[in-house]
Amino acid sequence: MISQTFIRELLERADIYEVVNRRVPLQSKGANGWACCPFHNEKSPSFSVSRDKQIFHCFGCGEHGNAIGFIMKYENLPFPDAVEKLAQECGVKVVYDGKSTFNRNPEKPRLTDIMERAQKYYRNRFLDNSAAQKYIKDRGLTDETLEKFGIGFAPDGWHNLDSVFSPDDRKLLIDAGLQREGNGGSFYDFFRNRLMFPIRNIRGQIIAFSARTMIGEEPKYINTGDTPIFTKGKEVFGLYEARRSIQEKKRVIVVEGQMDAIQLSQAGFGESCAPLGTAIRSEHVERLLKMTDHIIFSFDGDTAGRKAALRAMDICLPLLEDAQKAVFVFLPEGEDPDSLVKNQGPEAFEKLISQGLPLSSYLIESTSRGLDLSILEDKGAFLDAAAPYIRKTKSVLLRDGLIERIATAAGYKDTDQLARYFGFEKVAPIAPRPSGFRNGASARFGKGGFGARRFNTPSSGKTLPPKPETPILVLLRNFLRYPQLALEFEGAATEHLSSGELGPSDKIFKVLQKICQEDDNGDSLLSSLGGLPSPSEEEVFESEMEKIRNILQTLLLADGEDKDIKSASERGRTLRTPLSLARLETKRIFLQIEFEKVEQQRKALCSGNSLTQEQRQLFQSLLGVNKQLSQEIRDTDRKINEELTFRTR
């Protein structure tokens, strides 16, 4: 685990203006820098970078964060890699907690340096070799593509790298997979007379090579074996080069070969990548789903391609979350992506993508192939073939949708019965909101929560349209905006939310855990909250609060991006609810939750035919509690109205 103290020091050292400006040219207007947002298409600049607050914010799409968050978003990097990259730019080394179970290999930086030096050598040899250049030109690759992918050439010969590296580098060359030890203790170059395709990790460091023959020998490709910096089954070729296009197009195309990925990239499909000399694996899909919600698999239309597609579908089902999707594209016989874009142009490939089969359609098509679903026995075979896929589906929405599609295909009207056949109960519709909430925050102050109709957007001053926001998400918004409220209401949260019955309450406890989490030096956000200035010193208080919010967001990002947390944080920045009002709003929600629980107990007592003496006493006691809570709710509503009236005068 990366030290929290180090993260704070790194954010203090890094100037977000310079971090962004190196990637997106900024124009200074007043105290801030402005540009067209790199995260959505726009013609007028609405992307702002504040040097004072050390944050970025887009008033168009709502993206915001600190320097680490910007690098994560812009370069499509996971949290640890974004921290490493920012640290590298600041000229410091990342500090890890001593208690972490993560062991860093001190040789890794030296190995990546060895690979970079080898790449320069292979690149220069390519520029010297007319045969290699002719082969590449015959394949239709442009100079721009060669430069983008860093394609090089390893000359024929057994000891070429000896002219580049000293004997002191021998161990590193062997550890990196560039040389091997032969009989009698001699050493030789592993790659000879082959085109060299560097394989980069998501930070852009060269960690391996894939080498292709030019003379038809087998195997066509040979790859670096597993090393301390490279595991073949986990890496995806071209992912670093594709990261920006994946972000812009919100999709990734997975093909079967490196040359296919390179040709598609040149043809305008920069979001293309390929597994390294092996079938698609769960590690590949997991990595891709962290970068985009839309995966397009491109396979040959032959038997082998169909078999590979089935494997990809089998891998995706346990990994796909709600709103994520996989699509399967099958090429005409005798074509691969390389030949298709050459012979028929990029438009033909884009058309195939538009005609691709969504996972749901492909599952039914593949499991019903060769069956006549009008025959009872074939219907049974169809259901048996589909059952293993349904049972491993992670997304409840996808699973229920698949069951409905299968029921339609097989001619079954009772989807509940079919769900039970697969081993599931259909999820009941979400119950209506408890009656008490209708008279609470949403009805009185708009569906966006307290103050949604009074507090304006920072960019335009226009009134916000009401948006649905459940009580739990309102709490999450307030706790992210003011972490001190999470501590203040920790007891109420533990009492009322631990059961998990009220939506994504686990996110509330995740925020609490990050606030209290200590690093090796005993530092935590909890200690920072204790030293805050008074809210009456509005400007200073807000400046310090913004620093704490940024650190909390960074700690939460370390576990991966969460849509609820991101949405609640953006909502908080938009509404800018004052602390006093957020405190009242939070109190109001917990009072309402408690009120509803008492009401449920009271109604449960009334459901019987007659009450015992003990039950009548309990009933009277509950009525008293109900009356007390109702008065507290009315008092809190009155205070909220007074606060809103005061602030909008």
Amino acid 98: pLDDT: 52
Q: From residue 357, how far is each of 354, 367, 402 by CA, in Å?
A: 9, 14, 14
pLDDT greater than 70 at residue 438: no
Return the number of other C-beta atoms located less than 10 Å from residue 132's C-beta.
Answer: 23
Instruction: For residue 188, count other CB atoms closer than 10 A to its CB.
Output: 15
pLDDT digit string (tens) for 351-404?
Answer: 999 999 999 999 999 999 999 999 999 999 999 999 999 999 988 889 999 999
SS3 575: helix
Q: Are 46 and 58 in contact (CB under 8 A)?
A: yes
For residues 246 and 240, the answer to whether their CB atoms sit within 8 Å is no
| pLDDT of 601 strictly over 90 | no
pLDDT in tens, 474-483: 999 999 999 9
Place of tokens 């346990």: 318
Average pLDDT, the chain: 84
Task: Determine the Cα–Cα distance for residues 39 and 41; give it in Å rounded to an integer.
Answer: 7
Residue 79: is it exposed, middle or buried by C-beta count within 10 angstroms (0-12/13-18/19+)?
A: buried
The pLDDT > 90 percentage for the chain reads 41
Q: Which residues contact 461 (CB under 8 A, 6 or more apart)?
A: none
Kindly give, in sequence order, each residue whose CB lies less than 8 Å from that of residue 505, ignoring residues fewer than 6 positions away.
472, 493, 497, 498
Average pLDDT on 121-127 reads: 96
CATH classification code of 108-223: 3.90.980.10
Residues 643, 644, 648: CA angle, nearest 5 degrees:
120
pLDDT at 65: 85
Return the C-alpha torsion angle 267, 268, 269, 274, nearest 10.
Answer: 50
User: Which residue did the predictor score with more confidence, 283 or 52?
Assistant: 283
CATH class of 236-364: alpha beta
Closest among 357, 359, 336 to 274, alpha carbons compared: 336
pLDDT digits (tens, 9 = 90+) for 485-532: 988 888 888 777 876 666 677 888 888 888 887 766 666 777 777 777
Q: How do strand 152-154 and strand 236-237 relate by DSSP bridges? A: unpaired
For the residues of 335-364, what is the DSSP string, one character each? --HHHHHHHH-HHHHHHHHHTPEEHHHHHH
Single-letter amino acid, residue 338: D
DSSP string, 80-97: HHHHHHHHHHHT----B-
Query: 357-358 and 194-200: which strand pairing?
Result: unpaired
**Which CATH number does 4-90 carry?**
3.90.580.10
194-200 β-sheet, strand order: 152-154, 194-200, 206-212, 221-223
Of 13, 38, 10, 72, the closest CA to residue 558 belongs to 72
Does residue 356 contact residue 301 with C-beta atoms inside 8 Å? no
Whether the Cβ atoms of residue 70 and residue 555 lie closer than 8 Å to each other: no
Domain with CATH 3.90.580.10 in the chain: 4-90
- Residue 608: the pLDDT is 61
Cβ neighbours of 231 (radius 10 Å) = 14
> What token pair was written down for 193?
């007379």
Q: Residue 173: is its pLDDT beyond 90?
A: yes
How does 587-607 read in b/e, with b if 16+ C-beta sit within 10 Å?
bbbbbbbbbbebbeebeeeee
| Distances 552 to 32, 237, 580 between C-alpha atoms, Å | 23, 34, 21
Nearest-5° Cα angle at 335, 330 to 337: 75
Q: Are 132 and 36 spatial neighbours (Cβ–Cβ below 8 Å)?
A: no
List, in sequence order, every residue forming a beta bridge with 58; answer none if it has no partner. 47
Nearest to 516 by CA among 544, 546, 479: 479
Helix (H, G, I), strand (E, B) or coil at 460: coil
- Work out the angle between the directed axes of helices 359-367 and 396-410 (0-180°, nearest 10): 40
Q: Across residues 406-410, what is the average pLDDT?
A: 93
**What secondary structure does DSSP assign to 290-310, as a single string?**
TT-SEEEEEEESSHHHHHHHH
pLDDT band of 575, cuts 50, 70, 90: confident
272 with 238: CB under 8 angstroms? yes
- CB 199, CB 235: distance < 8 Å: yes
Query: Residue 647 is encoded by which pair of tokens?
Result: 């602030």
Amino acid at 316: C
Integer-rounded Cα radius of gyration of the chain:
30
CATH 3.90.980.10 in the chain is located at: 108-223
Among 6-20, 167-181, 399-413, the least confident range: 6-20
Distance CA 549, CA 210 (A): 44
The values of phi and psi at residue 608, to 5°, are -80, 170
- Contacts of residues 340-349 at CB distance under 8 Å and 24 or more positions apart, as own/partner, are 341/263, 341/264, 341/267, 342/140, 342/263, 345/267, 346/267, 346/268, 346/269, 349/264, 349/267, 349/269
Return the bridge partners of 254, or none: 273, 297
The answer to whether residue 294 scores a pLDDT higher than 90 is yes
DSSP 595-629: HHHHHHHHHHHHTSSS--HHHHHHHHHHHHHHHHH
Task: Using DSSP, state whether 25 is helix, strand or coil.
Answer: coil
Its CATH class, for the domain covering 368-422, is mainly alpha
Q: Is the pLDDT of residue 435 over 50?
A: no
pLDDT grade for 272, boundaries at 50, 70 and 90: very high
Evaluate if residue 30 carries a pLDDT over 80. Answer: no
Angle at the Cα of 439 from the Cα atoms of 434 and 445, rounded to 5 degrees: 120
